[in-house]
Amino acid sequence: MGFALQNANASRILQIFGADVDELSWFWIIAPLMGLIVQPIIGHYSDKTWGRFGRRKPYFLTGALLASIGLILMPQADIFIAFLPALWVGAGMLMIMDASFNIAMEPFRALVGDNLRTDQRTLGFSVQTALIGFGAVVGSWLPYALTNWFGVSNRTVEGEVPFNLILSFIIGAVILIISILVTVLSTKEYSPEELASFEDEQAHTDALKKDGEEHKSSLFDIFDDFKKMPVTMRQLSWVQFFSWFGLFGMWVFATPAIAQHMYGLAYTDSSSSLYQDAGDWVGVLFGVYNLVSAFYAFALPYIAKKLGRKRTHATSLIIGGLGLLSIYIMPDKNWLILSMIGVGIAWSSILAMPYAILAGSISPKKMGVYMGIFNFFIVIPQIINALIGGPLVKYAYDNHAIFALMVSGASFLIAAALVYKVKDVDDVVQN
């Protein structure tokens, strides 16, 4: 829910505080950088942590508390205007939120793996993905719902965030804290001794110790592993590059693109009532794609059994790419829901299929390091888009942000074509 509030509204808030459209991607570069830096560190230390409060829980409780502070303060950054410009305070809160979400999310994923047997993990991660999706729907729709269902005003003056958005972030922070506290108080974590006593766990531990004695690991081993990455992983890296390049462009430029293209606003407008309506509607659209993604996730295994994982992923990316491209020709804002259905199908597949394909090509003892390296192919394209996306909007697209969404759609289609170059070594349908 917190991620959804950020993704749907961060650009809008930054524009209200004075960011130009072509500067948005530079502020958003914080997100992939935090993922690149924070997740490996938290994953490393949470593996080695055990105290009176558990192994993973101290990390996601700390992350949730910090993220809640960021959620509350980002849309109210103008209260610090006596000390710093609101834009810079807002950007700082965005950085805190991103770092904190990463602190919380990495141990959450690990907790599922810790607490479930091998045969239960697919269902466990599916349920987690669905709950993330449904939470994202609530977060995305909240500003629109507060205004249109409960009468909370979304009108404002220049330089101030509308109250419906401030209230949405406060509600999101409260729900985040309550959800984390329920999880911390109700979820059991197994001690290292208990984990070692489970079936095959001790044998696995002994094997790891033996491997560690034979080859002492060091930071430089990552570079060696990078050079020796499996062929399938190299091929998937290009699919991931264009998939996440497209996603980042959509997240950053959706609000100004919809405001200009569907509401007829100037690129400099960030305070009119129509701009606030456009921002609320983007939240609705983001909620649609997250809702579709949550349901489509349950259908993916069955589709993959019929079509194969590669064809399933390629088809999903094509549908998503066409969805983004269709935004340009839609007659009014309501038709954009159809576009977002396509995006939701692609988003669901992006979160699942590449990892299913990758897992079959990696040795179990290298699973951790290669999953970490695979994350590079998620954050690097976002960083590149963050660096070049804004200048492209300003100089190549004459400040028409809609063309950034068109590039995102084309990027999805390129990713779909590259899927067919991937060797899926354990796909029964393909082989």
User: What phi and psi, each to the nearest 5 degrees, are found at residue 106?
Assistant: -60, -50
Mean pLDDT for the stretch of residues 345-365:
80
pLDDT, tens digit, 9 for 90 and up, residues 43-82: 666 666 676 677 777 887 888 898 899 899 888 888 777 6
Percentage of the chain lying above the pLDDT 90 cut: 41
| Choice among 138-142, 244-248, 279-283, 352-356 with the minimum mean pLDDT | 352-356
pLDDT, tens digit, 9 for 90 and up, residues 147-203: 999 999 998 888 889 999 999 999 999 999 998 898 888 877 766 666 566 545 444
Global pTM value: 0.82
Mean pLDDT for the stretch of residues 220-235:
73
Residue 168's CATH number: 1.20.1250.20
CA distances for 305 relative to 219, 312, 418, 430, angstroms? 39, 9, 21, 10
Q: Which residues contact 271 (CB under 8 A, 6 or more apart)?
A: 16, 156, 157, 158, 159
Distance CA 243, CA 240 (A): 5
Mean pLDDT for the stretch of residues 247-274:
94
Mean pLDDT for the stretch of residues 87-103:
80
Domain residue limits at 366:
2-419
Q: For residue 207, what pLDDT is reported?
A: 46
pLDDT, tens digit, 9 for 90 and up, residues 284-294: 999 999 999 98
Mean pLDDT for the stretch of residues 419-424:
88
Mean pLDDT for the stretch of residues 89-113:
75
Residue at 197 is within a domain: yes
Indicate whether 369 pLDDT > 80.
no
Distance CA 47, CA 368 (A): 11
Q: For residue 225, what pLDDT is reported?
A: 66
Residue at 426 is within a domain: no
Q: For residue 338, what pLDDT is reported?
A: 98
Mean pLDDT for the stretch of residues 231-244:
92
Q: For residue 251, what pLDDT is reported?
A: 95
Please give the structure tokens belonging to residue 182: 């329920």
Indicate whether 241 pLDDT > 80.
yes
User: What phi and psi, each to the nearest 5 degrees, are found at residue 343?
Assistant: -65, -40
Q: Can you tell me which residue has the tokens 């949550």?
A: 294
What sign has the CA pseudo-torsion 227, 233, 235, 240?
negative
Residue at 231 is within a domain: yes
Distance CA 42, CA 107 (A): 8
Residue at 431 is within a domain: no
**Number of domains into which the chain is organized:** 1
Distance CA 310, CA 58 (A): 39
Q: For residue 202, what pLDDT is reported?
A: 45
Residue at 171 is within a domain: yes
Indicate whether 214 pLDDT > 70.
no
Q: For residue 242, what pLDDT is reported?
A: 98
Mapped onto helix, strand or coil, the DSSP state of residue 51 is strand
Residue at 16 is within a domain: yes
Please give the structure tokens belonging to residue 430: 């393909």
Mapped onto helix, strand or coil, the DSSP state of residue 265 is coil
Residue at 159 is within a domain: yes
Please give the structure tokens belonging to residue 26: 């530079």
Q: For residue 194, what pLDDT is reported?
A: 63
